[in-house]
Amino acid sequence: MRLVVDTAIMVAALRGGTGNSRHLLAAGLERRFTMMAERSLAMSVLRQMRLVIDTATLVAAIRSATAASRHLSGAVRAVGGL
C-alpha cells in the first residue's frame, strides 16, 4: 500500500509524542506501508513543515512577549508610574 502524508500530519507527528499522526509516521518509517518519496514532493513537504514550525514558534514568542508586557504594565500601574 502507498500513502501520501500531508504536511499537517507530518508536523503533528514530529511535534507530539503520541497520537494517530505519530503512529502513522512510525508505521511508515517501519515500512509497514510505502510513503510516497518523489523528490519534488518530499522537498515541498519539508519546506511546508519548516514554515509551519517557524510560524508556530513565532506565535508562541508573540504570546509570551504580550503576556510579559501586560505583567510589566500591571506592575508599573501598581507602583503609581505611567
State the number of CA atoms in the 13 A half-sphere of 9 facing the CB: 13
What's the domain count of the chain? 1
Confidence (pLDDT) at 56: 76
Which range of residues forms the domain containing residue 19? 2-78
Q: What is the pTM of this model?
A: 0.44
Query: Is 82 or 21 the better-scoring residue by pLDDT?
Result: 21
pLDDT tens digits, 30-63:
888 887 655 666 677 777 777 777 787 777 777 7
